[in-house]
Amino acid sequence: MSQMAKSDAQWKQELSPEQFQVCRRRGTEAPFTGEYYECNDPGIYRCVCCGAELFSSQAKFASGCGWPSFYAPIQSDHLATREDHSFGMVRIEVLCARCEAHLGHVFPDGSKPTGLRYCINSVALKLDPDSRDA
């Protein structure tokens, strides 16, 4: 981790206020509002902060939870996780392994084949349209 350490001032310059709040301050976008919540376009979802490849559209599924949901990352080592005890809950926070952007959380109530639901803020992602078979 911390392969791409930048100061808050740097991130503030590069990100929109909402991107900064979610990715660098562990915020959460309002449910059912995100750009990618109902998106079914093929491609690779990258980290909005550093461009790392995080999720394939092939692993996206309709969870109904209000945020883009994926059953697996593109590569497990592209994500980092840690326990999050905020709001009186124990959840598993999901971060970009390269730049430590807060992405969302992972829950064990997901879809086949993994049974996981990576519940990710749209604002933390940038869809890279992919002409490859997707």
With binding defined as CB under 5 A, does residue 50 bind Fe ion?
A: yes
Evaluate whether 81 touches 91 at the Cβ level (below 8 Å).
Answer: no
Residue 23 designated active-site: no
Compare residues 10 and 62 and give the one whose CB is closer to Fe ion: 10
Where does this chain touch Fe ion (CB under 5 A) — which range of 71-79, 91-99, 104-112, 123-131?
91-99
Residues 99 to 128: which contact Fe ion by CB under 5 A?
A: 99, 101
47 interacts with Fe ion by CB under 5 A:
yes
CA 83 centroid distance within chain:
16
Closest to Fe ion by CB, 15 or 49: 49
CA pair distance 64, 57, nearest whole angstrom: 16
113 DSSP assignment: T
Q: Which residue stretch of 42-50, 59-67, 69-77, 115-123 sits at the interface with Fe ion (rule: CB under 5 A)?
A: 42-50
Which of 24, 46, 60, 98 touches Fe ion (CB under 5 A)? 98
**DSSP letters for 7-29:** -HHHHHHHS-HHHHHHHHH---P
Both tokens of residue 94? 């999901």
- Which residues carry out catalysis? 119
